[in-house]
Amino acid sequence: MNSRRRFLQQGFWGALGAGSLRLFSRDEHLFPPQAPKGALPVVIATWDNRKATAAAWEVLNAGGRALDAVEAGVHIPEADPNDTSVGYGGFPDRDGNVTLDACIMDEFGNAGSVSFLQHIMHPISVARRVMERTPHVMLAGDGALEFALSEGFKKTNLLTDTARRAWEEWKVKSEYKPIINFERHDTIGMVAIDAQNRIAGACSTSGLAFKMRGRVGDSPIIGAGMYADNEVGAAAGTGLGEIVLRTLSCFLVVEEMRRGKHPQRAVEYAIRRIAQKYPKQAAENQVGIVAIDKKGRHGAFGLQSGFNYAIYQNGQNQVFEAGHYFPAPPK
Ligand code: SD4
C-alpha cells in the first residue's frame, strides 16, 4: 500500500505513529466500519455476543438506563451453558470448581465487584448489589457468596456435564496453557450509553479454564477488565487477565480518550502498551478491548487476529472483526 493511501486509511495520528512507534501491525489496522460517526444509544461487547447486545438494546431502545442494559446483556452468556467462559457452563479451575469474577459501573462512577464467587448464576447482579447495597466495592469468595445468598440469590450447580468432561480430559495431562481465541466467545465485557447520555459498563467471566484455585483475573478489577467514566467513555476487555491487570488497560483507554483520543486510537494505545511491556506473553496470548466515547463513537483492537465484537447502534446489531497488533498467522 502506498504511503498516501495508508495515511488516508489511518488518519494523521496513525500515519505519524506508524513510523516511530510501530503503532500498527503492517497494514492490517483499519478503522472499524462505522467509527467516524457516533450515535446514541449504543452498546458494544467483546466477541460475537449479539444475543447479549440485543438484550441490552431492548432496554436502551425503550429509553432505559445504560446500567440496566449492560446487566441484562451480560445475563445472556452468564445463563448460557454453551458459553464455557462465563457463568453457568464455565470451565472450572484445576480442582473442578467453577469460580466467577464480575464487575459493574454506573454513570455516577459507582462500582461493584465480586471475585472468586461460586454457585451463583449471575455474578454481575451480585456485583450490582455490592455497588448499591453495601459500603464496599468488592467482595470475594465465601463472603461474596454469603452476601449473594442473603440477597436472595439461589445456590446453583454451575458445572455442566460438558465442562466436567473437558476438565476430566484436561486432567489427563494437567498442562496449563491459555489458548488464543479459545471458543471465540469468551469473557463478556460490555459498555453502553443510553439515550440520556448515561454511560455504564459490565464484565463477567469464569476466568481462565483450569486456573489455579483462588486465581482472580482482570475481569472483576475496576480499571483492568472494565472502566467507565460518564464524562468520557468506557472500555471493557477480554483475554489473558495477567497482562491486563499489570497495565490497567481499561482505565488507560478511558484516560487516553480523556486526553482527546478517538476510542479506536485509545484501544490501540492500550494494546500496544501490553505488547511493548510484556512482549513474550503478549505474543503468545490474546487480549481484546472494546471502547466507546461520550459521542457514541467506538473502537476495538486485539493483540492477535481473531478478536471480534458485537455492536448495536442505529437499530442494527452487527459483529465485526477487530484490528490487531501482531500479524495474523499464515493460513
Ligand atoms: C481472565 N480475562 O480471567 C479473563 C478471562 C478471559 O479469555 O477473558 N479469557 O483472565
How many Å apart are CA 249 and CA 269, to the nearest integer?
A: 9
Whether 7 shows a pLDDT value over 60: the answer reads: no
Whether 183 shows a pLDDT value over 80: the answer reads: no
pLDDT recorded at residue 324: 96
Whether 34 shows a pLDDT value over 70: the answer reads: no
Find out whether the beta carbon of 68 lies less than 6 Å from any atom of ligand 1. Answer: no
Compute the residue count for the chain.
331
Please report the sign of the dihedral spanned by the C-alpha atoms of residue 161, residue 166, residue 167, residue 171: positive
Q: What's the gap in Å between 52 CA and the centre of ligand 1?
A: 18
Q: What's the gap in Å between 207 CA and the centre of ligand 1?
A: 5
pLDDT recorded at residue 27: 35
List CB contacts of 303: < 8 A, sequence separation 6 or more.
239, 271, 274, 275, 282, 283, 285, 286, 287, 288, 324, 325, 326
pTM value?
0.89
Whether 19 shows a pLDDT value over 50: the answer reads: no
Q: Give the active site residues.
A: 187
Q: What's the gap in Å between 241 CA and the centre of ligand 1?
A: 5
pLDDT recorded at residue 288: 97
Q: Report the DSSP pairing between strands 316-321 and 138-140.
A: unpaired
pLDDT recorded at residue 145: 98
pLDDT recorded at residue 30: 47
Find out whether the beta carbon of 38 lies less than 6 Å from any atom of ligand 1. Answer: no
pLDDT recorded at residue 32: 54
Residues 68-97 have pLDDT tens digits of 999 999 999 999 999 999 999 999 999 999
Instruction: Output the CATH code of domain 38-324.
Output: 3.60.20.30
Report, as an integer, the average pLDDT of 99-112: 98
Of 160, 147, 2, nearest to 79 (Cα)?
160
CA-based max dimension of the chain: 63
Find out whether the beta carbon of 187 lies less than 6 Å from any atom of ligand 1. Answer: yes
Domains of the chain, by residue range, sit at 38-324
